[in-house]
Homo-oligomer: A and B are copies of this chain.
Amino acid sequence: MMKNNETIYLKNRPKIIGSYSIVGPKEGKGNFGEYFDYVMKDDCFNEETYEKAERKMIETAIVGAIDKSRINPKDINMLIAGDLLNQIISSSYAARVFDFPYLGVYGACSTMAESMAVGAVMVDGQYFKNVVCCTASHFSTAERQYRFPLELGNQRPPAAQWTVTGAGSCVLSLSGEGPEISMVTFGKVIDYDIKDVNNMGAAMAPAAMDTMLNHFKNTKTSPDDYDLIVTGDLGKLGSEILIDLMEDKGIKLGINYGDCGQMYFTRSQNMMCGGSGCGCSATVFNSFIMKKLNEKKYKKVLFMPTGALLSTTATQQGDSIPGVCHAIVIESVKS
Protein backbone atom coordinates (compact mmCIF):
# COMPACT_ATOMS: atom_id res chain seq x y z
CA MET A 1 0.00 0.00 0.00
CA MET A 2 1.32 3.42 -0.90
CA LYS A 3 1.85 5.98 1.81
CA ASN A 4 -1.21 8.13 2.27
CA ASN A 5 -2.65 7.02 -1.05
CA GLU A 6 -6.20 8.28 -1.28
CA THR A 7 -7.19 5.95 -4.11
CA ILE A 8 -8.58 2.47 -3.53
CA TYR A 9 -9.18 -0.20 -6.17
CA LEU A 10 -12.28 -2.38 -5.98
CA LYS A 11 -11.32 -5.78 -7.35
CA ASN A 12 -14.85 -7.19 -7.08
CA ARG A 13 -16.22 -4.16 -8.90
CA PRO A 14 -19.55 -3.53 -7.15
CA LYS A 15 -22.33 -3.31 -9.70
CA ILE A 16 -24.93 -0.55 -9.75
CA ILE A 17 -27.95 -2.76 -10.37
CA GLY A 18 -30.61 -0.12 -9.90
CA SER A 19 -30.94 3.65 -9.70
CA TYR A 20 -33.79 6.12 -9.29
CA SER A 21 -34.24 9.87 -9.43
CA ILE A 22 -37.09 12.09 -8.32
CA VAL A 23 -37.15 15.89 -8.76
CA GLY A 24 -39.29 18.99 -8.37
CA PRO A 25 -41.20 20.70 -11.21
CA LYS A 26 -38.51 23.31 -11.89
CA GLU A 27 -35.86 20.58 -12.13
CA GLY A 28 -38.17 18.60 -14.39
CA LYS A 29 -38.12 21.50 -16.85
CA GLY A 30 -34.31 21.58 -16.78
CA ASN A 31 -31.82 20.03 -19.20
CA PHE A 32 -32.10 16.53 -17.68
CA GLY A 33 -35.89 16.57 -17.41
CA GLU A 34 -36.50 13.70 -19.79
CA TYR A 35 -34.14 11.39 -17.88
CA PHE A 36 -35.65 11.59 -14.39
CA ASP A 37 -37.82 8.72 -13.16
CA TYR A 38 -40.35 10.97 -11.45
CA VAL A 39 -41.12 14.69 -11.62
CA MET A 40 -43.25 15.98 -8.73
CA LYS A 41 -46.22 18.23 -9.60
CA ASP A 42 -45.37 20.49 -6.65
CA ASP A 43 -42.54 20.86 -4.16
CA CYS A 44 -44.71 19.79 -1.23
CA PHE A 45 -45.27 16.26 -2.54
CA ASN A 46 -48.61 16.17 -0.66
CA GLU A 47 -46.90 16.67 2.70
CA GLU A 48 -47.53 19.32 5.38
CA THR A 49 -44.00 20.68 5.30
CA TYR A 50 -41.12 20.91 2.84
CA GLU A 51 -38.99 18.90 5.28
CA LYS A 52 -41.49 16.04 5.23
CA ALA A 53 -41.61 16.31 1.43
CA GLU A 54 -37.82 15.91 1.28
CA ARG A 55 -38.08 12.87 3.53
CA LYS A 56 -40.78 11.36 1.32
CA MET A 57 -38.59 12.01 -1.74
CA ILE A 58 -35.81 9.96 -0.11
CA GLU A 59 -38.20 7.13 0.72
CA THR A 60 -39.51 7.22 -2.86
CA ALA A 61 -36.00 7.17 -4.34
CA ILE A 62 -34.91 4.23 -2.15
CA VAL A 63 -38.02 2.20 -2.96
CA GLY A 64 -37.63 3.09 -6.62
CA ALA A 65 -33.97 2.05 -6.80
CA ILE A 66 -34.63 -1.26 -5.02
CA ASP A 67 -37.61 -1.87 -7.30
CA LYS A 68 -35.57 -1.22 -10.45
CA SER A 69 -32.77 -3.47 -9.15
CA ARG A 70 -35.36 -6.27 -9.15
CA ILE A 71 -34.13 -7.68 -5.83
CA ASN A 72 -36.20 -8.41 -2.78
CA PRO A 73 -36.00 -5.62 -0.15
CA LYS A 74 -35.31 -8.44 2.33
CA ASP A 75 -31.97 -8.91 0.55
CA ILE A 76 -30.85 -5.32 1.17
CA ASN A 77 -28.18 -5.35 3.88
CA MET A 78 -27.74 -1.64 4.51
CA LEU A 79 -28.83 1.91 3.72
CA ILE A 80 -26.20 4.63 3.56
CA ALA A 81 -27.67 8.12 3.25
CA GLY A 82 -27.31 11.76 4.16
CA ASP A 83 -28.66 15.19 3.34
CA LEU A 84 -28.25 18.92 4.05
CA LEU A 85 -30.69 19.35 6.90
CA ASN A 86 -29.50 19.74 10.48
CA GLN A 87 -28.85 16.26 11.94
CA ILE A 88 -29.61 14.85 8.45
CA ILE A 89 -33.21 14.28 9.51
CA SER A 90 -34.47 13.64 5.98
CA SER A 91 -32.31 10.51 5.77
CA SER A 92 -32.62 9.33 9.37
CA TYR A 93 -36.39 9.68 9.48
CA ALA A 94 -36.74 8.04 6.07
CA ALA A 95 -34.61 5.14 7.37
CA ARG A 96 -37.32 4.36 9.95
CA VAL A 97 -39.56 2.82 7.33
CA PHE A 98 -36.96 0.33 6.10
CA ASP A 99 -36.02 -2.93 7.78
CA PHE A 100 -32.27 -2.78 7.21
CA PRO A 101 -29.33 -1.17 9.05
CA TYR A 102 -28.62 2.51 8.48
CA LEU A 103 -25.45 4.55 8.30
CA GLY A 104 -25.87 8.32 8.21
CA VAL A 105 -23.17 10.23 6.35
CA TYR A 106 -22.55 13.92 5.80
CA GLY A 107 -20.43 15.45 3.07
CA ALA A 108 -22.73 18.33 2.16
CA CYS A 109 -23.27 18.18 -1.63
CA SER A 110 -20.60 15.46 -1.96
CA THR A 111 -22.84 13.06 -0.05
CA MET A 112 -23.81 10.92 -3.07
CA ALA A 113 -20.10 10.16 -3.59
CA GLU A 114 -19.54 9.46 0.09
CA SER A 115 -22.48 7.08 0.39
CA MET A 116 -21.49 5.30 -2.84
CA ALA A 117 -17.83 5.09 -1.76
CA VAL A 118 -18.62 3.60 1.66
CA GLY A 119 -21.23 1.32 0.11
CA ALA A 120 -18.80 0.17 -2.58
CA VAL A 121 -16.25 -0.76 0.11
CA MET A 122 -18.89 -2.69 2.11
CA VAL A 123 -19.86 -4.65 -1.01
CA ASP A 124 -16.40 -5.05 -2.56
CA GLY A 125 -15.04 -6.37 0.75
CA GLN A 126 -17.94 -8.84 0.74
CA TYR A 127 -19.20 -7.64 4.11
CA PHE A 128 -22.60 -7.09 2.54
CA LYS A 129 -24.18 -8.23 -0.70
CA ASN A 130 -26.55 -5.35 -1.42
CA VAL A 131 -26.29 -1.77 -0.20
CA VAL A 132 -28.62 1.15 -1.01
CA CYS A 133 -27.10 4.62 -1.28
CA CYS A 134 -29.19 7.77 -1.27
CA THR A 135 -29.13 11.51 -0.85
CA ALA A 136 -31.45 14.45 -1.44
CA SER A 137 -31.88 18.18 -1.16
CA HIS A 138 -34.87 20.49 -1.36
CA PHE A 139 -34.71 24.15 -2.32
CA SER A 140 -37.29 25.24 0.24
CA THR A 141 -35.80 23.36 3.21
CA ALA A 142 -32.22 24.38 2.40
CA GLU A 143 -33.07 28.01 1.66
CA ARG A 144 -34.86 28.58 4.94
CA GLN A 145 -32.30 26.66 6.96
CA TYR A 146 -29.15 28.18 5.43
CA ARG A 147 -30.23 31.58 4.12
CA PHE A 148 -33.53 33.45 4.41
CA PRO A 149 -37.22 32.83 5.12
CA LEU A 150 -38.85 31.86 1.83
CA GLU A 151 -41.50 34.55 2.40
CA LEU A 152 -38.78 37.20 2.17
CA GLY A 153 -38.39 36.63 -1.57
CA ASN A 154 -34.76 37.64 -1.23
CA GLN A 155 -32.77 38.76 -4.28
CA ARG A 156 -30.09 36.40 -5.52
CA PRO A 157 -26.60 37.61 -6.44
CA PRO A 158 -25.10 36.51 -9.79
CA ALA A 159 -22.80 33.95 -8.14
CA ALA A 160 -25.71 32.23 -6.37
CA GLN A 161 -26.80 28.71 -7.19
CA TRP A 162 -30.22 27.13 -6.85
CA THR A 163 -30.53 24.19 -4.45
CA VAL A 164 -31.92 21.33 -6.50
CA THR A 165 -35.14 19.78 -5.22
CA GLY A 166 -34.42 16.15 -5.91
CA ALA A 167 -33.39 12.77 -4.52
CA GLY A 168 -31.21 10.12 -6.12
CA SER A 169 -30.63 6.56 -5.02
CA CYS A 170 -28.81 3.49 -6.30
CA VAL A 171 -28.33 -0.14 -5.26
CA LEU A 172 -24.79 -1.54 -5.19
CA SER A 173 -24.42 -5.30 -5.43
CA LEU A 174 -21.75 -8.00 -5.56
CA SER A 175 -23.67 -9.74 -8.32
CA GLY A 176 -26.13 -8.80 -11.01
CA GLU A 177 -26.00 -6.56 -14.06
CA GLY A 178 -24.96 -2.93 -14.17
CA PRO A 179 -22.17 -0.38 -14.44
CA GLU A 180 -19.25 -1.21 -12.14
CA ILE A 181 -17.43 0.91 -9.56
CA SER A 182 -13.73 0.28 -10.12
CA MET A 183 -11.95 2.98 -8.10
CA VAL A 184 -12.55 5.55 -5.41
CA THR A 185 -10.33 8.50 -4.53
CA PHE A 186 -11.23 9.98 -1.15
CA GLY A 187 -10.83 13.72 -0.77
CA LYS A 188 -9.27 15.91 1.88
CA VAL A 189 -10.92 18.98 3.36
CA ILE A 190 -9.50 22.01 1.54
CA ASP A 191 -10.06 25.61 2.58
CA TYR A 192 -8.96 28.58 0.44
CA ASP A 193 -10.51 31.07 2.87
CA ILE A 194 -13.59 31.88 0.76
CA LYS A 195 -16.21 33.50 3.00
CA ASP A 196 -18.96 34.41 0.52
CA VAL A 197 -21.85 32.01 1.23
CA ASN A 198 -23.30 32.97 -2.12
CA ASN A 199 -20.22 31.72 -3.93
CA MET A 200 -20.00 28.05 -3.03
CA GLY A 201 -18.44 27.18 -6.37
CA ALA A 202 -15.30 29.15 -5.56
CA ALA A 203 -15.13 27.50 -2.14
CA MET A 204 -15.41 23.95 -3.53
CA ALA A 205 -13.26 24.26 -6.68
CA PRO A 206 -9.93 23.89 -4.81
CA ALA A 207 -11.15 20.66 -3.19
CA ALA A 208 -12.20 19.33 -6.60
CA MET A 209 -8.77 20.24 -7.96
CA ASP A 210 -6.96 18.52 -5.09
CA THR A 211 -8.95 15.29 -5.44
CA MET A 212 -8.70 15.34 -9.25
CA LEU A 213 -4.91 15.82 -9.17
CA ASN A 214 -4.50 13.02 -6.62
CA HIS A 215 -6.77 10.76 -8.64
CA PHE A 216 -4.89 11.29 -11.92
CA LYS A 217 -1.54 10.89 -10.14
CA ASN A 218 -2.50 7.77 -8.17
CA THR A 219 -4.22 6.02 -11.05
CA LYS A 220 -1.79 7.25 -13.72
CA THR A 221 -4.73 8.38 -15.82
CA SER A 222 -5.46 11.66 -17.62
CA PRO A 223 -8.70 13.41 -18.69
CA ASP A 224 -8.53 11.59 -22.02
CA ASP A 225 -9.01 8.24 -20.26
CA TYR A 226 -12.61 9.13 -19.39
CA ASP A 227 -15.68 9.59 -21.57
CA LEU A 228 -17.07 11.93 -18.95
CA ILE A 229 -15.51 13.80 -16.02
CA VAL A 230 -18.26 15.41 -14.02
CA THR A 231 -18.08 17.47 -10.82
CA GLY A 232 -21.07 17.92 -8.53
CA ASP A 233 -22.26 21.45 -8.13
CA LEU A 234 -19.44 23.89 -8.74
CA GLY A 235 -21.81 25.77 -11.05
CA LYS A 236 -20.84 28.03 -13.94
CA LEU A 237 -18.34 30.09 -11.96
CA GLY A 238 -16.88 27.26 -9.88
CA SER A 239 -16.35 24.98 -12.86
CA GLU A 240 -14.56 27.82 -14.69
CA ILE A 241 -12.34 28.22 -11.63
CA LEU A 242 -11.61 24.48 -11.59
CA ILE A 243 -10.68 24.55 -15.30
CA ASP A 244 -8.29 27.45 -14.58
CA LEU A 245 -6.81 25.78 -11.49
CA MET A 246 -6.21 22.53 -13.39
CA GLU A 247 -4.71 24.41 -16.32
CA ASP A 248 -2.29 26.07 -13.89
CA LYS A 249 -1.25 22.54 -12.89
CA GLY A 250 -0.72 21.64 -16.53
CA ILE A 251 -3.88 19.57 -16.99
CA LYS A 252 -6.38 20.65 -19.63
CA LEU A 253 -10.01 19.74 -19.02
CA GLY A 254 -11.68 19.43 -22.42
CA ILE A 255 -15.20 18.91 -23.74
CA ASN A 256 -15.53 15.64 -21.80
CA TYR A 257 -15.58 17.69 -18.58
CA GLY A 258 -18.82 19.06 -17.20
CA ASP A 259 -20.43 20.09 -13.91
CA CYS A 260 -23.88 18.85 -12.89
CA GLY A 261 -24.81 22.21 -11.38
CA GLN A 262 -23.66 24.18 -14.40
CA MET A 263 -25.57 21.88 -16.79
CA TYR A 264 -28.69 21.38 -14.69
CA PHE A 265 -30.98 24.22 -15.76
CA THR A 266 -31.72 25.78 -19.15
CA ARG A 267 -30.59 29.31 -20.01
CA SER A 268 -34.17 30.53 -19.99
CA GLN A 269 -34.66 29.29 -16.43
CA ASN A 270 -32.13 31.96 -15.42
CA MET A 271 -30.71 30.10 -12.42
CA MET A 272 -27.63 32.29 -12.13
CA CYS A 273 -24.65 29.94 -11.68
CA GLY A 274 -26.79 26.80 -11.86
CA GLY A 275 -27.90 24.05 -9.53
CA SER A 276 -26.45 22.93 -6.20
CA GLY A 277 -27.32 20.68 -3.27
CA CYS A 278 -26.91 16.96 -2.61
CA GLY A 279 -29.74 16.32 -5.05
CA CYS A 280 -27.92 18.02 -7.92
CA SER A 281 -25.22 15.44 -8.72
CA ALA A 282 -27.34 12.64 -7.20
CA THR A 283 -30.23 13.09 -9.63
CA VAL A 284 -27.97 13.64 -12.67
CA PHE A 285 -25.95 10.52 -11.87
CA ASN A 286 -28.92 8.30 -11.10
CA SER A 287 -30.72 9.30 -14.30
CA PHE A 288 -28.72 10.67 -17.26
CA ILE A 289 -25.26 9.29 -16.40
CA MET A 290 -26.55 5.84 -15.43
CA LYS A 291 -28.58 5.67 -18.65
CA LYS A 292 -25.51 6.49 -20.77
CA LEU A 293 -23.44 3.91 -18.84
CA ASN A 294 -26.11 1.24 -19.26
CA GLU A 295 -26.31 2.05 -22.99
CA LYS A 296 -22.49 1.92 -23.07
CA LYS A 297 -22.45 5.42 -24.62
CA TYR A 298 -20.10 6.12 -21.73
CA LYS A 299 -17.50 3.44 -21.03
CA LYS A 300 -15.67 5.17 -18.18
CA VAL A 301 -16.97 8.02 -16.03
CA LEU A 302 -15.15 10.00 -13.34
CA PHE A 303 -17.89 11.15 -10.95
CA MET A 304 -16.76 13.88 -8.53
CA PRO A 305 -19.46 15.38 -6.29
CA THR A 306 -18.28 18.40 -4.32
CA GLY A 307 -19.33 19.63 -0.90
CA ALA A 308 -19.15 22.94 0.96
CA LEU A 309 -18.85 22.03 4.64
CA LEU A 310 -20.15 25.24 6.18
CA SER A 311 -22.98 25.92 8.58
CA THR A 312 -24.77 29.14 9.52
CA THR A 313 -23.12 28.99 12.94
CA ALA A 314 -19.64 28.73 11.39
CA THR A 315 -20.42 31.63 9.05
CA GLN A 316 -21.79 33.77 11.88
CA GLN A 317 -18.57 33.14 13.79
CA GLY A 318 -16.51 34.40 10.85
CA ASP A 319 -15.29 31.04 9.54
CA SER A 320 -14.45 30.47 5.90
CA ILE A 321 -16.00 27.67 3.82
CA PRO A 322 -14.06 24.37 3.65
CA GLY A 323 -14.68 22.14 0.65
CA VAL A 324 -14.41 18.40 0.05
CA CYS A 325 -14.66 16.21 -3.06
CA HIS A 326 -14.57 12.45 -3.53
CA ALA A 327 -13.97 10.82 -6.92
CA ILE A 328 -15.59 7.59 -8.09
CA VAL A 329 -14.80 5.76 -11.32
CA ILE A 330 -17.76 3.93 -12.84
CA GLU A 331 -17.29 1.74 -15.92
CA SER A 332 -19.87 0.20 -18.21
CA VAL A 333 -19.63 -3.58 -18.44
CA LYS A 334 -17.50 -4.69 -21.39
CA SER A 335 -19.55 -6.64 -23.92
Q: Which of A28-36, A93-101, A151-159 touches B?
A: A93-101
Whether a CB of chain B sits under 8 angstroms from the CB of A226 is no
A188 surroundings in chain B (CB, below 8 A): 95, 98-102
Contact A75 to B3, CB < 8 A, known contacts A106-B104, A122-B121, A186-B101? yes
Annotate A117-153 by CB proximity to B: 1 below 8 A, 0 otherwise.
1100110111111000000000000000100000000
Residues of B within 8 A of A322 (CB): 92-93, 95-96
**Which residues does chain B contribute within 8 Å of A107, judged by CB atoms?**
103-104
Interface pair A51/B189, CB less than 8 Å apart: no
Instruction: Give the distance in Å from the alpha carbon of A145 to the alpha carbon of B145 in the complex.
Output: 13
Query: Which residues does chain B contribute within 8 Å of A88, judged by CB atoms?
Result: 106
Decide if A4 touches B317 in the complex (CB within 8 Å): no
Q: Is A6 an interface position by the 8 A CB rule?
A: yes
- Once the chains are docked, how many angstroms separate the CA of A129 from the CA of B126? 18
Tell me if B49 and A89 are in contact (CB < 8 A).
no
- Taken together as a complex, chains A and B put the C-alpha atoms of A124 and B114 apart, in Å, by 19
- Docked-complex contact A127 and B93, CB < 8 angstroms: no
**Contact among B8, B51, B89, B311 with A89 in the assembled complex (CB-CB below 8 Å):** B311
Pick from B5, B49, B310: contact of A317, CB under 8 Å = B49
Query: Residues of B contacting A186 with CB < 8 Å?
Result: 78, 101-103
Pick the contact of A103: B85, B99, B114, B311 (CB < 8 A).
B114
Is B99 a contact partner of A313 (Cβ separation < 8 A)?
no
For A317, the chain B residues whose CB sits under 8 A away are: 48-49, 51-52
Q: Does A319 count as interface, using CB distance less than 8 angstroms?
A: yes
Which of B51, B77, B108, B124 is within 8 Å of A125, CB to CB?
B124
Chain B residue with the shortest CB-CB distance to A324: B102
Tell whether, in the assembled complex, residue B93 and residue A309 are in contact, meaning their CB atoms are under 8 Å apart: yes
Q: What chain B residues lie within 8 Å of A326 (beta carbons)?
A: 101
Size category of the A interface is: 35 or more
Residues 227-246 (chain A) with a chain B CB within 8 angstroms? none
Task: Name the contact of A4 in the complex, choosing from B48, B99, B102, B125 (C-beta under 8 A).
Answer: B99
> Is the pair A314, B93 in contact by a Cβ cutoff of 8 Å?
yes
Residues of chain B within 8 A (CB-CB) of A1 are 77, 126, 128-129
Q: Which residues of B contact A324 (CB under 8 A)?
A: 92, 95, 102, 104
Residues of B within 8 A of A95 (CB): 188-189, 322, 324
Q: Known A107-B104, A186-B101, A324-B102; judge A127-B92 contact (CB<8 A).
A: no
Contact of A166 with B by CB under 8 A = no
A residues 191-243 with Cβ under 8 Å of B? Answer: 191
Instruction: Output the nearest chain B residue to A110 by Cβ-Cβ distance.
Output: B104
User: Does A312 make an interface contact (CB < 8 A)?
Assistant: yes
A188–B97 Cα gap in the complex (Å)? 10
A24 beta carbon closer than 8 Å to chain B = no
Q: Can you list 20 A-B contacts with CB-CB less than 8 angstroms, sorted by A residue number?
A: A1-B77, A1-B126, A48-B317, A78-B186, A85-B311, A87-B106, A87-B108, A87-B310, A89-B310, A89-B311, A93-B309, A93-B319, A95-B322, A96-B322, A101-B326, A103-B107, A103-B114, A104-B114, A104-B324, A125-B127
Nearest 6 pairs of A and B residues by beta carbon: A125-B125, A101-B186, A87-B311, A92-B309, A95-B189, A86-B86
